[in-house]
Amino acid sequence: MRHLKAGRKFGRTSAHRKALFRNLVQALIQRERISTTLAKAKELRGKVEKTITLGKRGTLHARRQAFKLAPAKEAVQKVFGPLAERYANRPGGYTRIIRIGHRKGDDAPMAFIELVDREGEAKAPAKGKAVPEKETAPKKEAKSTKPKVTAKKKAEPKTKEPAAKKTTADKKKSDSKKEPAKKDKPEDKKKK
């Protein structure tokens, strides 16, 4: 039994697995969104979040540890610069995984893994906070431009109904109504 043996092996040697995740961590930090298999994304999540947490510490020791997880100089500079500032008030949960279906060749489940609050992403309002008044103000103005309905107008019944589109069958019926009705001849009445 595999008790206390965490982590997936991916059918690779330990050195190959280590190199794979160093490259994936570096790619995710630089691009902020990558597509990979679901299993790799779930395994990658912990490594990236650990790297960003090191960036928030900002010490020399943390920087040296981050180089072990992401060997690219540009990636480490980004972690200790913009990413550390972006996630300064966030206590973890820097990534999200979005499932995108299955790969065509081998039907492997695929997923996007991305950093939350990315640069090109619009920020959603946090739960429990009020919506800014700028968004609600135009709606109130639009309501005030409509004429107000008084109590007298509400009480009056509407006489005109909106005209519906007429089909060909309805047109034939309306044409027959327009024709003058044939009057019964006096002869017909006598016979009855």
Percent of the residues in the chain that have a pLDDT greater than 90, as a whole number? 58
How far apart (Å, rounded) are the C-alpha atoms in residues 192 and 190?
A: 5
Rounded distance between C-alpha atoms, residue 54 and residue 76, angstroms: 10
DSSP 19-33: HHHHHHHHHHHHHSE
Domains by residue range for the chain, with CATH = 14-115 (3.90.1030.10)
pLDDT digits (tens, 9 = 90+) for 100-137: 999 999 999 999 999 999 877 666 555 655 545 544 44
| Interval 146-180: pLDDT, tens | 555 555 555 555 555 555 555 655 555 555 555 55
Report the DSSP beta bridge partners of residue 37.
110
The distance from CA 59 to its chain's CA centroid, rounded to whole angstroms, is: 36
pLDDT band (50, 70, 90) for residue 140: very low
Does 55 or 135 have the greater pLDDT score?
55
